[in-house]
């Protein structure tokens, strides 16, 4: 068991998925839907977002198995389109509520990389030689993966709702209806190489972040 990886990886994952879910709730609240706020989900407190299997058991298994991957999730934040302000374009609202989660992950990834490289440049921190450096490195990697993974255009992931926002209404409705088969799609994602589709875009984003941060820090 890699205890160092466990010590930095689990907190980083809990914070990342909590921010992701809170961002969904915040976006829905901005459209007038108070559901997440009423349930206390507009918070970074991981206890409010924990799913026993996705947030704890799965990441723990991945870490102790030495897979080199830290991954997990949280309870989805519910939102109610019918509670949004009158006159709201519901399809576009759903799209932005869905996009808010991955956007929050990309923001946290960028900030984590910026802080890590700033510490390295100014104080000589090495990402593998300190808890702070290890935590920031984990935050960067986890948020990059979470953001890209959730943008896969496969129900029930956020990318499906983002895609639906650009489709004609009849097709968008069919996309939303596919979420009833969420478990089937989840098994498809886990048991097939479909999740590898994120690697190309993720590597491009990684390079872009590193070039931008390098310019800002150095």
Query: Which residues are catalytically annotated?
Result: 21
Q: Determine the 3-state secondary structure of 56 from DSSP.
A: helix
Residue 74 token pair: 């949280």
CA–CA separation, 191 and 183 (whole Å): 12
CA–CA separation, 4 and 1 (whole Å): 9
Among 126, 156, 140, 114, smallest CA distance to 202 is for: 140
Where helices occur in the chain by DSSP H, the ranges are: 3-30, 35-38, 58-64, 90-123, 131-150, 158-164, 169-177, 182-191, 199-217
Terminal-residue alpha carbon distance, the chain: 36
């Amino acid at each position: 068991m890699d205890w160092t990886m466990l010590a930095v990886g689990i907190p980083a994952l809990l914070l990342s998925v909590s921010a992701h879910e809170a961002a969904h709730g915040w976006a829905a609240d901005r459209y007038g839907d108070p559901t997440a706020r009423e349930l206390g989900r507009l918070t970074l407190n991981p206890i409010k977002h924990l799913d026993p299997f996705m947030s704890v058991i799965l990441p723990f298994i991945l870490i102790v198995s030495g897979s080199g991957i830290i991954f997990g999730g949280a309870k989805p934040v519910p939102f109610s389109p019918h509670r949004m302000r009158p006159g709201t374009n519901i399809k576009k609202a759903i799209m932005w509520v869905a996009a808010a989660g991955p956007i929050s992950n990309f923001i946290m990834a960028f900030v984590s990389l910026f802080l890590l490289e700033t510490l390295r440049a100014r104080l000589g921190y090495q990402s593998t030689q300190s808890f702070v450096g290890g935590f920031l490195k984990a935050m960067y990697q986890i948020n990059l993966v979470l953001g890209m993974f959730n943008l896969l255009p496969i129900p029930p992931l956020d990318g499906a709702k983002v895609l639906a926002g650009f489709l004609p209404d009849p097709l968008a409705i069919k996309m939303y209806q596919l979420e009833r088969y969420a478990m089937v799609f989840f098994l498809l994602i886990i048991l097939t190489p479909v999740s590898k589709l994120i690697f190309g875009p993720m590597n491009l984003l990684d390079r872009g972040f590193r070039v931008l941060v390098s310019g800002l820090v150095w």
